[in-house]
Structure 1
Amino acid sequence: MSKNYVIGFPRIGEKRELKKVLEKYWAKQTDFNEVKYVAEQLKKRHWNYQKEAKIEFISSNDFSYYDNMLDTSILLGAIPKRFENLKDEELYFAMARGNETCVAMEMTKWFNTNYHYIVPEISKETSFKLNSKKVIEEYKEARELGIKTKINLIGAITYLGLSKSVDNSDIFLHINNIVEVYKNLLLEISELDDEVIVQFDEPLFVKDLDTKVLSLIKPVYDALTKVASNIKIAVTTYFEHSNEATRVLVNTPIWALGLDFIHGNKNLESLELIKNSNKVLIAGVIDGRNIWKSNFQDKVELLNKISKIINKENIIVATSCSLLHVPFTLKYEDNLDKEIKSWLSFANEKLQELSLVSKQFFDFKLNLDEIAVIRKNVEENNQRKISSKIHNIKIQDEIKNLKTFERADKFKDRIKVQREFFNYDFLTTTTIGSFPQTPEIRENRKNYKANLISKEVYEQEIKKYIDDCVAFQDEIGLDVLVHGEPERNDMVEYFGEMLDGFAFTQNAWVQSYGSRCVKPPVIYGDVNRENPMTVEWIKYAQSKTKKVMKGMLTGPVTILNWSFVRDDIPRSEVTRQIAFAICKEVNDLQNAGIKMIQVDEAAFKEGYPLRIENMKSYAQWAVDNFKLSVSSALIDTQIHTHMCYSEFNDIIKTIEAMDADVISIETARSGNRLLRIFKDVAYKQEIGPGIYDIHSPRVPSVEEMVLQIKSLLEVLPKEQLWINPDCGLKTRKWPEVKESLINMVKAVNIIKNEEIK
């Protein structure tokens, strides 16, 4: 068997089996035994897929019911006090989703991916103890199938580095306590087999670490490697280079070091250090984050380049990161254009790529079928380069000839005109855009796409939903309304379906958080907009109310970051093409009388490079392209944007530079911590901090929302504040949405009455 290594594997299931059973369980339609049964079947299937692909190093403990960071908090006994009376699955899912009495833990993006993790809460009083048998049980499950796995764990330094201190204490003061728990766990692991490999994931090491954090690496891994002689420790990093940490790790007794050579090309600079230490190099050369078919020749050339420094015997060929970030399999993509499909590779297909690349690199004998696959790989990669599907000369020329790249008027002038035009005062209420996607709406859309119903029947159902949605908002007294987006399957896919250069899959789902899955479009060629995408539906909704109807668009940077993007031109160029398309849509909306337009940039932050040296360039082209997308807006057209869970401290100047008139942000799980930075920099534009968490089914009371609004008023003046939920409502159920929004409007009215008095 050739030496190859999968960092981690998707867990949601090839047909989203885990998602479906979890949501059935949360809806009280089954008990947890069924969830456990489905999980067991998925793990067996996933281990066997990797075994059949001749993968040597297969993971256990990469599976999770919700999130691996949450699992680690449970493992380490780091349970916030508000959950301490709960047990087992009730505790686990309350920490992730909240319940009637407990607010869920904060959730944020996993580095610069679209995966979200549950943020550990640490204080001076946090105590750590070994609190879970999951790690041991999963290893034994695989062993019963005849599969000897490596065990995946989140490294202690990454765990703490991604935690939040709830009392402003130094979270790294707990490092020794966590190491002690891990030492106890390693002792238990040492009894499982004659030799066990433990993979500690330390992606924090690819960031710009200060001296204090770097100084922790050696004592931590010196201590962990001494626990048991039959445990071999691999430290894996991914998403960027980790040269500073590598300099330290080569001086510890770890067995192997995993480096990403796809997104961390500078890792090549550390090869001499690794050679001199005689460590095993786990070389990440199969892309775990994008879906383009590997060029086998390029991969083998890269490995040969590495092997000029590192002895081949000390190299293991690997994925660049966990395959969690790509869809499961191409097997079900029957409707995808055959030529485009031939360019793609999902998680299961990447197993074959990994196996064949490692065989070629190590000069293993290939059978006839494998030789045929390798020849086909060369043909398909060459064909993609010359395909007529990729290039649109017309749109390339239009963008070259652009003369306007931003709005003509300054914010201070625009806001005066807009306030007079829209006639609003303070604490204006609205929502982020989407309303619940009911089973009926999904079925209607599905039937229309399958040609089972006529366009007239389809549109009748969409209009009925919009009628009800607008009427409800009017009835409860919201100030600025939305149409609810019943015609949209997804905030990116919907737009991509009406743009040239996008392809769509049937089943290429990727986990975003918990049971939430997304199906990113594939941007394979030049992007172009021929016709309006939203105008008719927004106009229809506006005809149903005298109040302001907000037009809803997805921004160019978010469309880019939530898609699988072509890799043959720079991402900045792809974004410019999308921005130009959105710019045309903004102009058509305002010409149709829609003068308040939200251009969502929910994923703006997650596209940021992880290294400071690369951030300025990204921020510049991302801001420039957002400004291009709204450059057609007139002075009395108010541009809103929305950003999801993000730490804004480091990008607040970039947000200012975007120059949107109103920004709404997710702050419900983080209190005012994220909001204060806007005050600190004297942010001038208007802000809608989310006052309740839509990722939880919990309905906040009027009193709770009143307190939340008052806390906002302690930070920013009432004239600058809008009031809204912290994200779109499509994933929620109508009863909880209605009750929550009614409570929100009541809370605002209480505050307004107090202000008037």
Structure 2
Amino acid sequence: MARTAVLGFPRIGADRELKAALEDYWAGRSSTAALEATAREIRAANLWAGTQAGIDVLPVGDFSLYDHVLDVAEMVTLIAERHGGAEASGLSAHFLACRGGDGVTPLEMTKWFDTNYHYLVPELTPGQSFALRADKWVAHLREAGELGVDARPVVLGPVSLLRLSKGVAEPLSLLPALTAVYAELLAALAAAGAREVQIDEPCLVLDRTDAELDAFADAFAMLCAAAPLEVCLATYFEGLDERALQRIARLPLAELHVDLVRAPSQLDAVLDALPAGARLSAGVIDGRNVWATDLDLALDRLDRIVARIGSDRVTIAPSCSLLHVPYSVAREQGIPQEVREWLAFGQEKLEELALLARAVDASHADRDELLADARRRISARRVSRLTNDAAVRGRVAALREEDYARPVPIDERLAAQHERLALPELPTTTIGSFPQTAEIRDARRRWRCGELDAEAYDAFLREQIEQVVREQEQLGLDVLVHGEPERNDMVEYFGEQLNGFVFSQ
């Protein structure tokens, strides 16, 4: 039978407990022990949710207080000297890298591939050395064991860690030394009771040179032999090209995970290259999307896999970590019931995984029964008045080629703008929004609760706007902004002015 797996869980807490705990800790209102207790509760809740849903393989090591890339960098002692270097320890040093302080700049933050998540960029130095600090992974593995969960440790792989770092021209020149430390990690996990390990290498889906792919293959050949562990190589966000698959085919992997949501066209090539006897972890549920899965489409892909390698070698999984989605639709009382039925957050995606596992080996008649409700919800969304606006569709259908071209050439527009605005050669302005002060947040809260009427709230906002405009004039800025006091979040604010949007709580 096929098994089910999760690559990673949301980490903020169902009620954003981690956010509150971190803010209390940073403000000095709570202790290290209190923060760590909250973190343990979130990890336990995630494992409990997966267990209750019947998921076969649950992750540990995916949880982070701030950023999983930073955690892995610290695991191999890749720590900037200004943050304490090899001598750094404890949460104070950890959060110094995250947030800076006392004249110390934090690590740069940038987008995690094309998601809305941002990670902290590790900093390499020429001749960088590495040393293992496996405490977090071993502790979390044992913690899961105490809860009765035989969990699979998850770690960002050495190739991706180096490629996502900065500071040296040829980061993969450091791969042999780094791989040796990862080998120590795998040995430590095996000694702590792990039976398999998930090593994430999302950078393999990007354009890689042959030399980089050869370096990857050498590193993973070493890792597969480093400890008595089954190694799952996990890729996501795009597909693997032929050159990457050629290297993977020669590796003694126990499992390969691929993203069949973002890159379904890779499936045949992946099946052709799958190492002998290895399982294929099929990412058929979108780990980045809040919509319910079209389970018939997912089963079509699973059926193709089962026909080639049998269900015993299939793992059914989300396309990537569930880090990118909220916890559960059941908590969203402010979303209309019609729309709620179309959604699948983290908890619902676990239920979809379990349902697919039952359906993949079922007869067609049994499938019809298993999928009846899911099919109803998918069909309802397709024909709903909320997703079919005749006026909008008519306007789109009426678009002409000339509608995509500006009627006035750019040179003429620029000349008119320069004449109208009369700005200096290098005008000054702010990014746009001014800080959301405690006073502004309190006024918005009181307005939403009905404690402040619309007229008073409008007057308050106008006062705030006048203050920031006067401040900009006094500073001599050229292009003024109004400060956006009315917006808790720019995207949410504009979405609230439009049809076709709903907002989670």
Q: Which TM-score bucket, shorter chain as reference?
A: over 0.9
What are the superposed Cα offsets for residues 164-222 of structure 1, whole Å, 9 maximum, x if unpaired? 1x2x43111100011011111112112112x5211000111111211111111221111
- Give, in angstroms, the shift of residue 479 of structure 1: 2.6
What are the superposed Cα offsets for residues 215-266 of structure 1, whole Å, 9 maximum, x if unpaired? 112211110111122x111000011111332321121111110011111112
Q: Could you tell me whether the CA contact under 8 Å between 2:334 and 2:504 is conserved in 1?
A: yes
Match of 1:335 in 2: 334
Query: Where in structure 2 are the equivalents of 1:536-551 lying within 5 Å?
Result: none
- Give, in angstroms, the shift of residue 408 of structure 1: 4.0
Distance 2:399 2:274 in 1: 52
Match of 1:182 in 2: 182
Query: Where in structure 2 are the equivalents of 1:275-674 lying within 5 Å?
Result: 277-363=276-362, 374-399=371-396, 400-401=398-399, 403-506=402-505
Q: Which consecutive unaligned segments of at least 5 residues does structure 2 have?
A: none
2:241 equivalent to 1:243: yes
Q: Which moved more, 1:270-279 or 1:479-488?
A: 270-279
Partner letter of residue 137 of structure 1?
Answer: A
Q: Could you tell me whether the CA contact under 8 Å between 1:275 and 1:311 is conserved in 2?
A: no
Match of 1:563 in 2: none
Q: Could you tell me whether the CA contact under 8 Å between 2:254 and 2:278 is conserved in 1?
A: yes
CA spacing shift, 1:276–1:154, aligned 2, 3 Å: closer
Distance 1:275 1:420 in 2: 64
Partner letter of residue 172 of structure 2?
Answer: F
Distance 2:438 2:292 in 1: 35
CA spacing shift, 1:478–1:28, aligned 2, 3 Å: farther
CA spacing shift, 1:383–1:418, aligned 2, 3 Å: closer
- Secondary structure at the counterpart of residue 82 of structure 2: helix
Match of 1:581 in 2: none
Partner letter of residue 126 of structure 2?
Answer: K
Partner letter of residue 138 of structure 1?
Answer: H
Distance 2:161 2:275 in 1: 29
Q: Could you tell me whether the CA contact under 8 Å between 2:253 and 2:275 is conserved in 1?
A: no
Distance 1:414 1:379 in 2: 51
- Secondary structure at the counterpart of residue 428 of structure 1: coil
- Secondary structure at the counterpart of residue 404 of structure 2: coil
Distance 2:234 2:289 in 1: 19
- Give, in angstroms, the shift of residue 426 of structure 1: 4.0
Distance 2:275 2:30 in 1: 56
What are the superposed Cα offsets for residues 430-477 of structure 1, whole Å, 9 maximum, x if unpaired? 111111112332233233334443211221221122122222222333
- Give, in angstroms, the shift of residue 404 of structure 1: 3.7
Q: Could you tell me whether the CA contact under 8 Å between 1:243 and 1:269 is conserved in 2?
A: no
Distance 2:192 2:17 in 1: 30
2:43 equivalent to 1:43: yes
Give the alignment's TM-score, normalised by structure 1: 0.63
Partner letter of residue 174 of structure 1?
Answer: L
Distance 2:391 2:225 in 1: 64
Distance 1:323 1:41 in 2: 18
Of 146, 149, 156, the residue aligned with 2:148 is 146
- Secondary structure at the counterpart of residue 280 of structure 2: strand
Match of 2:90 in 1: 88
- Secondary structure at the counterpart of residue 153 of structure 1: strand
RMSD: 2.3
Query: Where in structure 2 are the equivalents of 1:690-729 lying within 5 Å?
Result: none
Match of 1:26 in 2: 26
Match of 1:105 in 2: 107
Q: Could you tell me whether the CA contact under 8 Å between 1:275 and 1:309 is conserved in 2?
A: no
2:164 equivalent to 1:162: yes
CA spacing shift, 1:401–1:284, aligned 2, 3 Å: closer
- Secondary structure at the counterpart of residue 500 of structure 2: strand
Q: Which consecutive unaligned segments of at least 5 residues does structure 1 have?
A: 507-757
Query: Where in structure 2 are the equivalents of 1:248-259 lying within 5 Å?
Result: 248-259=247-258
Partner letter of residue 459 of structure 2?
Answer: Q
Match of 1:685 in 2: none
Q: Could you tell me whether the CA contact under 8 Å between 1:274 and 1:310 is conserved in 2?
A: no
Match of 2:128 in 1: 126
- Give, in angstroms, the shift of residue 129 of structure 1: 0.8
Distance 1:287 1:169 in 2: 35
- Secondary structure at the counterpart of residue 169 of structure 2: coil
Match of 1:679 in 2: none
Distance 2:45 2:31 in 1: 22
- Secondary structure at the counterpart of residue 501 of structure 2: strand
- Give, in angstroms, the shift of residue 33 of structure 1: 2.3
Partner letter of residue 139 of structure 2?
Answer: E
Identity of aligned residues (%): 34
- Secondary structure at the counterpart of residue 11 of structure 1: coil
Q: Could you tell me whether the CA contact under 8 Å between 1:6 and 1:57 is conserved in 2?
A: yes
Q: Could you tell me whether the CA contact under 8 Å between 2:249 and 2:274 is conserved in 1?
A: no
Match of 2:206 in 1: 207
Distance 1:301 1:413 in 2: 54
- Give, in angstroms, the shift of residue 410 of structure 1: 4.4
Higher helix share: 2
CA spacing shift, 1:156–1:473, aligned 2, 3 Å: same
Count residues in correspondence: 500
Distance 2:346 2:161 in 1: 26
Match of 1:736 in 2: none
Distance 2:274 2:172 in 1: 31
Partner letter of residue 23 of structure 2?
Answer: E
CA spacing shift, 1:418–1:386, aligned 2, 3 Å: closer
Distance 2:91 2:110 in 1: 22
Match of 1:585 in 2: none
Q: Which moved more, 1:418-427 or 1:131-140?
A: 418-427
Distance 1:496 1:272 in 2: 42
Query: Where in structure 2 are the equivalents of 1:681-692 lying within 5 Å?
Result: none
Partner letter of residue 385 of structure 1?
Answer: R
Match of 2:196 in 1: 197
- Give, in angstroms, the shift of residue 102 of structure 1: 1.6
- Give, in angstroms, the shift of residue 8 of structure 1: 0.7
Q: Could you tell me whether the CA contact under 8 Å between 1:429 and 1:480 is conserved in 2?
A: yes
CA spacing shift, 1:401–1:266, aligned 2, 3 Å: closer
Distance 2:399 2:281 in 1: 47
Q: Which moved more, 1:341-350 or 1:263-272?
A: 263-272
What are the superposed Cα offsets for residues 471-520 of structure 1, whole Å, 9 maximum, x if unpaired? 222233333221111111211111111111112222xxxxxxxxxxxxxx
Match of 1:216 in 2: 215
- Give, in angstroms, the shift of residue 401 of structure 1: 3.7
Partner letter of residue 430 of structure 1?
Answer: T
Distance 2:169 2:486 in 1: 48
Distance 2:481 2:68 in 1: 36
- Give, in angstroms, the shift of residue 418 of structure 1: 3.2
Q: Could you tell me whether the CA contact under 8 Å between 2:2 and 2:311 is conserved in 1?
A: no
Higher strand share: 1
What are the superposed Cα offsets for residues 640-684 of structure 1, whole Å, 9 maximum, x if unpaired? xxxxxxxxxxxxxxxxxxxxxxxxxxxxxxxxxxxxxxxxxxxxx
CA spacing shift, 1:5–1:93, aligned 2, 3 Å: same
